Amino acid sequence: MSDFSGKVALVTGASRGLGAAVAEIFAQRGASVFGVARDEERLTSTFDAIPGGKFAAADIATPDACRDVVQRCVDEFGRLDVLVNVAGAHKMRHTAEVTDEEWAGDLAVNLNAPFFLSRAALPHLLEAGGNIVNVASIAGTEGQAYSAGYCAAKHGLIGLTRALAVEYTADKLRVNVVCPGGMLTDQVTNFSVPDNPNFDLIMRAASLRGLMEPSDVARVIAFLASDDASAINGAVYMADNGKTAG
């Protein structure tokens, strides 16, 4: 089992779903956890169960907000060893009806925020010999109907992961990405579809084995962030119940 004693992890999207599961498993394995999400009430509820954990309610779609939360984490704990970019958003829309603002919003939370956070965290991670784990999606490796912005952003996040992994190969920094399939989270169980959808197209994204628990994917993330994965850099890990296997 991965041991994070003495290490500090910053986890985005930590108020619910996969982000909360990641924060919990890192804390259980000894890390000091700094959680970030927009919903302060749910963050408070999540971190009531995380001894010693700290959090900040913030919208990380802007560079300034990302710099601020990284600095607050370092100010609180004195270091940063792991950045886990979990926060994301997915709303299905007919592509022809996507507005400029909706397109920009898809990229802001799913791609821009991980870049801004990584950029702000790099000096601290390099000093600590730490790592970044990004959370993309199976939508980052294949097309999904009514999801042009989400797919584009998640494909981009995989590219960002690989670019950073190559750029910092000679340094003590690893960067990997996990691509989950469907999980039992609010984003999946309460998803809405556009008017007059083709459900055959939508169901192409489903695994025959059904939805996973967030903790199933959180354990994969914890492994990649741990010293047990010291030889893994620039990897794209599929955690999708076999959806993309064939």
Catalytic residues: 150
CB 211 within 8 A of CB 191: no
Going through 111-173 in order, the beta strands assigned E by DSSP cover 131-135
Q: What one-character DSSP code corresponds to residue 111?
A: I
Superfamily name and number for 8-239:
NAD(P)-binding Rossmann-like Domain (3.40.50.720)
Name residues whose C-beta falls within 8 Å of residue 227's C-beta, 6 or more positions apart in sequence: 2, 3
pLDDT of amino acid 189? 62
pLDDT of amino acid 218? 97
- pLDDT tens string for the chain (246 positions)? 689 999 999 999 999 999 999 999 999 999 999 999 999 999 999 999 999 999 999 999 999 999 999 999 999 999 999 999 999 999 999 999 999 999 999 999 999 999 999 999 999 999 999 999 999 999 999 999 999 999 999 999 999 999 999 999 999 899 999 999 887 877 666 677 878 888 777 777 777 777 879 999 999 999 999 999 999 999 999 999 888 886
pLDDT of amino acid 190? 66
pLDDT of amino acid 164? 98
pLDDT of amino acid 244? 85
- Residue 30 CA to residue 52 CA, distance in Å, equals 10
Domain locations along the chain: 8-239
- Residue 182 CA to residue 3 CA, distance in Å, equals 27
pLDDT of amino acid 19? 97
CB 57 within 8 A of CB 38: yes
CB 86 within 8 A of CB 135: yes
